[in-house]
Amino acid sequence: MKDSQKKMLPHSEVKIRLLKLYLERYLNILTQSKYCGDIHLYDIFCGEGIYEDGGKGSPIVILEAIKNIYYSKKSTCDNSEKYNCFFNDIEKWKVEKLQKEITNRKLHYTEFGKLKYSIKDYKVVLPEIVNEIKSLKNQKAFIFIDPYGYKGIKAIDLKSLLQSNKSEVLLFLPTQFMFRFETKGTPECLVEFISELIPSKQWPVSETGIDFIESLTEAFRTYLGKEYFVDSFIISRDKNQFFCLFFFTSHIYGFDRMLDAKWKIDEEEGRGWSYQQENNLFSQIEKKANTYEFERKLKEFLGTYRNNRELYEFCLHNGHLPAHANEILTKLQNEGILSSFNGDGTPARKSSFYLNYKDSRTRPDKIKLILK
């Protein structure tokens, strides 16, 4: 067994931290929605739950998030929805150890929802999950895929999981090894993986691991189409050693919450995490988001009238939070080069931009902005 499966290495810890941050936001949003019923969470390569060094794996973090949201909500209102968890791993001993950990830590009670275990190969269990998700009505699903390698993972799998528009997918890929193989004797499994996204002859040569990840992210976007949001979170372990989490959803607010989780970890770029940065002597200094390039793009975008919905979606598609845009727009107003009007054409209140999911859906033309 690899060390990464026995001990919680730094890059694995960050991977789980992002999962935790996102689930805290995701579950809180869904439980507040009157249109959402039960929530289904799938961990397809769940592992044993606890690493040998005591590090918490994904199923433990998932159950802790559920337990916390359940009891915090119980004090304010009823818990009508259920949180149904499905944990799968092909190795029986891992699932058995996970079951014991969950019992010993008292992480699950029947009032939370259903808890199901499975010991099946990925290729077998995936179609079963797809069919389950298709049958959901006013319910949502979250799927975490953290495979042992990448052989067997297909782009069509992601499309199948997403096509009902009821699910979000978080996929971890060992992009460092994929990039290395791209330049040194590309194995058949990588050729198949890439060829499913775009014709292999169109795949650009990657100079660095970052280049490879950016090419892969764009390939996912092209393959899935404009109705889906795709984003990546880069985890840097050592010099030019990059792993990556890819997030997929058709729901703009789910994407919003994932971006928020990313920026909580990487306050300067919202792009990823570096072991060197976190252990730097200056890591405790307050960090400010780098919005220089985003500001340039935003100014170009405001060359014509834009409403608050268009601006909100523009922020997310460019990997930035509404808070970043609000700061830039306020600065432009103070410089006297930004005009803002209410939907009826009257001057809008200063520093009010309505860049959020709720207003983008209920009042998309609440305000219109343009650079003078």
Is residue 331 located within the same domain as residue 269? no
Using DSSP bridges, classify how beta strands 272-274 and 229-238 pair: parallel, antiparallel or unpaired. parallel
Rounded Cα distance between 197 and 215, Å, is 11
Q: Which whole number is the average pLDDT over 226-238?
A: 83
Is residue 255 located within the same domain as residue 319? no
Is residue 340 located within the same domain as residue 205? no
Q: What pLDDT is stored for residue 284 in this prediction?
A: 36
* Pairwise pLDDT comparison (156 vs 282), residue with the higher score: 156
Is residue 358 located within the same domain as residue 249? no
Please check whether residue 280 lies inside any domain of the structure: no
Is residue 80 located within the same domain as residue 227? yes
DSSP 8-state secondary structure symbol assigned to residue 212:
H
Is residue 118 located within the same domain as residue 20? yes
Residue-averaged pLDDT of the chain: 85
Domain that holds residue 154: 3-275
DSSP 8-state secondary structure symbol assigned to residue 347:
B
How would you class 239 by CB atoms within 10 Å of its CB: exposed for 0-12, middle for 13-18, buried for 19 or more? Answer: exposed
Please check whether residue 258 lies inside any domain of the structure: yes
Residue 242 corresponds to which amino acid? F
Is residue 269 located within the same domain as residue 332? no
Domain end: 243, 275, 307, which one?
A: 275
Q: Which whole number is the average pLDDT over 155-183?
A: 84
Percent of the chain exceeding pLDDT 70 equals: 84
Q: Number of structural domains, the chain?
A: 2
Residue 136 corresponds to which amino acid? L
- 53 confidence band (pLDDT: 50, 70, 90): confident
- 261 confidence band (pLDDT: 50, 70, 90): confident
Rounded Cα distance between 108 and 110, Å, is 7
Is residue 266 located within the same domain as residue 121? yes
Task: Give the CA angle between residues 348, 353, 356 to the nearest 5°.
Answer: 145
Number of alpha carbons in the 13 Å side-chain half-sphere of residue 64: 15
Rounded Cα distance between 312 and 370, Å, is 15
Q: What are 283-312's pLDDT values in tens digits? A: 333 445 678 888 999 999 999 999 999 999
Report the candidate in 129, 117, 126, 185 with the shortest Cα–Cα distance to residue 152.
Answer: 126
Please check whether residue 90 lies inside any domain of the structure: yes
- 3 confidence band (pLDDT: 50, 70, 90): very low
Is residue 307 located within the same domain as residue 269? no
Please check whether residue 284 lies inside any domain of the structure: no
Rounded Cα distance between 248 and 244, Å, is 13
Please check whether residue 356 lies inside any domain of the structure: yes
The pTM assigned to this predicted structure is 0.84
* Pairwise pLDDT comparison (267 vs 182), residue with the higher score: 267
Domain with 243 in it: what CATH number?
3.40.50.150
Q: Which whole number is the average pLDDT over 188-198?
A: 81
Rounded Cα distance between 29 and 169, Å, is 17
Is residue 141 located within the same domain as residue 10? yes
Rounded Cα distance between 114 and 111, Å, is 8
Is residue 232 located within the same domain as residue 323? no
Please check whether residue 285 lies inside any domain of the structure: no
Domain with 333 in it: what CATH number?
1.10.10
Please check whether residue 281 lies inside any domain of the structure: no
Domain end: 246, 275, 304, which one?
A: 275
Q: What are 70-79's pLDDT values in tens digits? A: 888 766 655 6
Q: Which whole number is the average pLDDT over 206-219?
A: 84
* Pairwise pLDDT comparison (204 vs 106), residue with the higher score: 106
Is residue 254 located within the same domain as residue 299? no
Please check whether residue 49 lies inside any domain of the structure: yes
Report the candidate in 271, 4, 28 with the shortest Cα–Cα distance to residue 149.
Answer: 4
Report the candidate in 144, 140, 145, 97 with the shortest Cα–Cα distance to residue 117.
Answer: 97
